[in-house]
Amino acid sequence: MLNFDEKRFLRIQSGAASHAGGIYRAVQECLEQGARNLFFLGTGGAAILMMPAAQMLQRQSSFPTFLEMSAELVLTGHGALGSDSIVVIPSLSGTTKESVAAMEFCKEKGAKIITLIGNADTPLAKGADYPFVNFAEDDTSCESFYLQSLFISLAVMHLRGEYADFDETAQELVRLPHALLNVKKAYEERAEQIAEEIKDEPYHIITGAGSSWPEAFYYGMCILEEMQWIRTRPVHASDFFHGTLELVEKGVSVLLLKGEDPARPLVERVERFLPEYTEKVRVFDTAEFSLPGISAQVRPLISPVILATLFERISAHLEVKRNHPLTTRRYYKRVAY
């Protein structure tokens, strides 16, 4: 595979899966100490990657759960944030200034802090009650963050009697890194083809729903815009017919991300609409990929993980074909802002 280290990928994703037990114990301690709600806080892409886990709790649990922007929370406060709160903060670097400020703000309120970071010797590792360190880089962080945040939500639900199979699910997810590697290998040729097809596109509409929506949002903003300087319009499939459809015409590229959760029909509705109006429709469907050892119950939980692993391969080819390294920036961490 192009510019890909298999052993590194397996090490990083296996590291994320290995945190299941520690995360469970951290959540258990927090609940035993009287935690009554949970906040997912983050900055930029790391915050987006918390969305599937947050949505799971909001929709399948009665445990009050909030998904907030770190910088805004520090300015506005939140009536539910206090000494009975669990706060989850992801940051690959462990130094993101907005997230560090949010951690300090929440600690002053007495909240218990869980951090998901890539480096131990950082403010977000040292300041947290429960730091979970799993080294990763931009090309491997999506799967890692998705998995670790999923464990948090599953732990909360299991401890509250709302999800029966935490241990069984965790055991399945230990096998997931090797399954994802096989997905990447099987997708390599198609990823290169897609990269060739889209390398000169100036603009993409990107849509998804349910747990596929965060990956659509993330890939548009954090990869195509930040790392490739390509304009995108991420739009939730449920909003597609309330504005964005008027931008669809011949020659407009639309990327559709289909997961396996109950929101899938929202994307299928967009899929049925598009062919009459644009010939540039590309569908990314997690149901097409075999995952040996992963049950039908667990597959819907990891749709965004599968999509992330597919898009990493497209990105690897895209940066070569466009002669635009994914590490190139004009402003991000280059100038004061």
CATH 3.40.50.10490 boundaries in the chain: 6-164, 189-321
Specify the CATH number for 6-164; select among 3.40.50.10490, 2.40.50.700, 3.40.50.300, 3.30.428.10. Answer: 3.40.50.10490
pLDDT of the residue at 337: 87
pLDDT on residue 335: 94
Cross-strand bridge partners of residue 254: 205, 281
Q: Count of CB atoms within 10 A of residue 327's CB?
A: 9
Average pLDDT over residues 134-154: 96
Domain 189-321, CATH number (from 1.20.1260.10, 1.10.10.10, 3.40.50.300, 3.40.50.10490): 3.40.50.10490
What is the pLDDT at residue 135?
Answer: 95
What pLDDT sits at residue 153?
Answer: 98
Q: pLDDT digit string (tens) for 180-216? A: 999 999 999 999 999 999 999 999 999 999 999 999 9
Q: What would the DSSP string read from start to end of 98-154?
A: HHHHHHHHHHHTT-EEEEEES-SSSHHHHS-SEEEE----TTTHHHHHHHHHHHHHH
Residue 88 · residue 80 · CB < 8 Å? no
What single-letter DSSP state applies at residue 202? S
Residue 45, pLDDT score:
97
Report d(CA 225, CA 222) in Å as an integer. Answer: 6
pTM tops 0.85, yes or no: yes
